[in-house]
Structure 1
Amino acid sequence: MNAPDDITRAVEAVLFAATEPMTLEAIRTHLNGAEVRAALAALQADYAGRGIELVKRGERWHFQTAADMAHLLRREHEEARKLSRAGIETLAIIAYHEPATRAEIEAIRGVGISKGTLDVLMEAGWIRPAGRREVPGRPLLYATTPAFLAHFGLASRRDLPGIDDLRAAGLLDPVDLAFARTDWDADAADDGDAEVETFDETH
């Protein structure tokens, strides 16, 4: 096997030292704008099947323990994160419809949600404020985070299970069909019709 070139080694070092997943542009910034796509592909192939792997979650890259090795690193007394049914439903609605306002979430669920439910999801790092809908009252929008993708092992929202997958697994009640969607192109088109003021994630 050929030795990695300097760019590949530099990308490996940057990602190894990173405290959180990094975007392509963030990696390039550390390398004075160098092109790094080939280096990322080479590293991903080199680490495939090893105890540590390079993965892309959303638009961010990071090293993680291989899924089949994760049990070796779990603490003996691991604190489980438990979500209420309201929390699970709220997270699912945001994931399938994002960005979504609290009122939109409540309309889909058919019942109100407490502020505490959203607070729990934000404390878990799975959702974030994503701007405001440009309608009267300018309600806050919520969207999922890279941490949500990483926790559930998803490369992107397109990897979320579809209606047929959920039904086959016995996870869909009739009411659940109201918020289980698979047509991401339609989501994108719908999102584009509404004016949204977005927040800069760097602040």
Structure 2
Amino acid sequence: MVSTALTTDDDETAAEATGPAPREQSLRILEALLFAASEPVAEAALAERLPAGADVPGLLARLAEDYATRGVHLVRVAGKWMFRTAPDLGYLLSRGAPEPRKLSRAALETLAIIAYHQPVTRAEIEEVRGVSTSKGTLDVLMETGWVRLRGRRRTPGRPVTYGTTETFLIHFGLESIGDLPGLEELKGAGFLDARLPASFTVPVPSDDPALRPDEDPLDGSEAAELDLGMLPREPEAEAGDDGESDDGEAGTAPAP
């Protein structure tokens, strides 16, 4: 009996010395990395910080399950991972926060067109909206970080093309641009008339960063202007700002 007791004590001491099991230790490291991150983190970046051979997808699934009923959830946005406040508790964080100024209707319409039709030029945005679009509207969307310049269309005037950003996906909680609602979802939500023509379709959105065959890259000077937060000149022959029909809302500050 004495011998058995001594063996048990030795085993417990050895277990304490070795610390948590490898998988549990990897789970703790993963949790710490995600809590400390200020931005969503890619699986590849997490794998670099975890012990060799760690099952990153399995660990993420386990961690997401552990937090599923807690005050924060582990979610996948823009193809990366981050902790976010549980949706039903979001109202708690809004108390005392300054009321954000909302985007204008013109800016929201323009953002939706860019998201679904990208890469798209200003003239093409105006064609979809049916009214001219203020340059200020596009400036506001770029200031939010939700819209970026992609390149220049290989057409006369070489107009710039616009697309959405990773920040857009993160803000709206989308794993990918393909998670935007489709035709039936938009009808069900009341955004589209249920009696639309049978031929009506909603574009399948794609935010592939690779330039299309009809796009040229921005030149060096334009890239430098982008780094300074400046928009390049748009030489396309479009309706000027004086003729735009955004009802003066284009300068409204965006929501964060």
Same fold flag (TM > 0.5): yes
Distance 2:127 2:192 in 1: 18
Alignment of 1:91-130 (within 5 A): 91-130=111-150
Unpaired runs of 5+ residues, structure 2, are 1-20, 228-256
Question: What is the TM-score normalised by the length of structure 1?
Answer: 0.76
The aligned counterpart of 1:166 is 186
The aligned counterpart of 1:78 is 98
- State the percentage of identical aligned residues: 50
Distance 2:46 2:168 in 1: 21
Where is the strand percentage greater, Structure 1 or Structure 2? 1
Question: What is the TM-score normalised by the length of structure 2?
Answer: 0.62
1:103-137 deviations in Å (ceiling 9; x for gaps) = 32222223222221112122223222334445555
Matched position secondary structure for 1:5: helix
Confirm or deny: 8 A CA contact 2:115 2:205 kept in the other structure: no
Confirm or deny: 8 A CA contact 1:93 1:179 kept in the other structure: no
Confirm or deny: 8 A CA contact 1:132 1:138 kept in the other structure: yes
Largest Rg, 1 or 2: 2
Which has the higher mean CA deviation after the structures are superposed, 121-130 or 51-60? Answer: 121-130
Residue from 149, 169, 172 that aligns with 1:152: 172
The aligned counterpart of 2:244 is none
Confirm or deny: 8 A CA contact 1:132 1:139 kept in the other structure: yes
Alignment of 1:38-77 (within 5 A): 38-77=58-97
1:16-49 deviations in Å (ceiling 9; x for gaps) = 1111112223333444876522222221121112
Unpaired runs of 5+ residues, structure 1, are none
Matched position secondary structure for 1:154: coil
How many residues were matched structurally? 195
1:129-175 deviations in Å (ceiling 9; x for gaps) = 3344455554433222333233333332222222232233332369x
Distance 2:113 2:83 in 1: 29
